[in-house]
Amino acid sequence: MRQVLREDAVVRIGDDVFQVSGSNTNWVIVKEGDDCTLIDTGYPGDHDTLLASLDAVGLHPRSVTAVLVTHAHNDHIGSAERLRSGYDVPVLMHHEEVPHARRDYLDQVSVGQVLGQAWRPGVIPWAVHALRAGGTAHVPLLRPQAFPTTDALDLPGSPVPLHTPGHTAGHCAYHLPHSGILVSGDALVTAHPTSRLSGPQLLPGMFHTDRAQALDALDVLEYVDADVIAPGHGPALRDSPREAVALARARSRR
C-alpha cells in the first residue's frame, strides 16, 4: 500500500526526536548528527512512508545505526528485514522476542478473534485497513538480535530497554533519558481505531498475549523519568508516565 508522507505525519517530540504516524501505527526516529536509532518500522505497506520520514529529517536508510523493536507484530516490524538486508542495519530486541521475530511462532491477534469482535465499532474498518497495509503478510526477520545489555544501549539517544511483557512475551518500551521521552510501544497507547477512548489506555484485550500481565507491566513504566510519552498508537502525550499509567489503570477496570 503506497503512501505519501502527510504534512503532519512527522512530529518533533524532543531535541532531534521525532514521532512518525504511518498506517494507524507509529515509529520514532532518534537523530544524533548524521545517524539515528529507529524504533519500530510500521506495517509492510508503510515502507515508502518510512523512507520519506527519514528523508524529511535529513537522513537516509544508511543513517540508521540500528532498528529497535518494541515487539514483533507486523505493524511494528514491517520494514525491519528490508532495512537489515538492504542496508546491513542490525535489528535488536529483547531476547524473548527473538523467536517471535523469526516467526518460529506467530503471536498476534487472529482473523477469528477479529471476527469475534466484529460487532464492536471500528473493528471492521481497522481490519480492512490492516489487511491492505500488510497486517497478515509473512515478514520474518532472518537475523534478529537480542540486546547486548539491559542497560543503556550504545546507540543514538542512549535508549534504555524496559521489558514490559503482556502484549507479547518480549515487548519492550524504551526510555530516552537525555530527552525525557518514554517510547511506550503497545504497553501504553493513547488511541486506536478499535477503541472509543482517547488518551492513556491499554489496547483492547484481543490484542494482548496476556492482558493481566500487560496491566502489571504498567508498573515498569510508572516511575520512568520522562515528560513525553511516544506510544505505538495514537498521538504523543506530554505528561508524566505516573499520571498516564494511573489513568490507563483506572480505565482498564471499567
Nearest CA to 192 out of 182, 204, 210 is that of: 204
Query: From start to end of 77-192, where are the E strands?
Result: 91-93, 145-146, 160-163, 172-176, 181-185
The grid cell for 40 is 519500530
The grid cell for 177 is 533519558
Separation between Cα atoms, residue 2 and residue 244, nearest integer Å: 34
Separation between Cα atoms, residue 135 and residue 150, nearest integer Å: 30
Q: How far is CA 214 from CA 112, 127, 129, 139, 197, in A?
A: 22, 22, 25, 25, 18
Dihedral sign from CA coordinates of 62, 65, 67, 70: negative
User: What is the model's pTM?
Assistant: 0.95
Tens-binned pLDDT, residue by residue, of the chain (254 aa):
445 788 889 999 999 999 999 989 999 999 999 999 999 999 999 999 999 999 999 999 999 999 999 999 999 999 999 999 999 999 999 999 999 999 999 998 877 787 788 878 888 888 888 889 998 899 999 999 999 988 999 999 999 999 999 999 999 999 999 999 999 999 999 999 999 999 999 999 899 999 999 999 999 999 999 999 999 999 999 999 999 999 999 999 76
Residue 221 confidence (pLDDT): 98
Exposure string (b/e) for 88-123, b if CB count within 10 Å is 16 or more? ebebbbbebbbebbeeeeebbbeeeebeebeeeeeb
CB 74 within 8 A of CB 134: yes
Residue 1 confidence (pLDDT): 43
Residue 254 confidence (pLDDT): 60
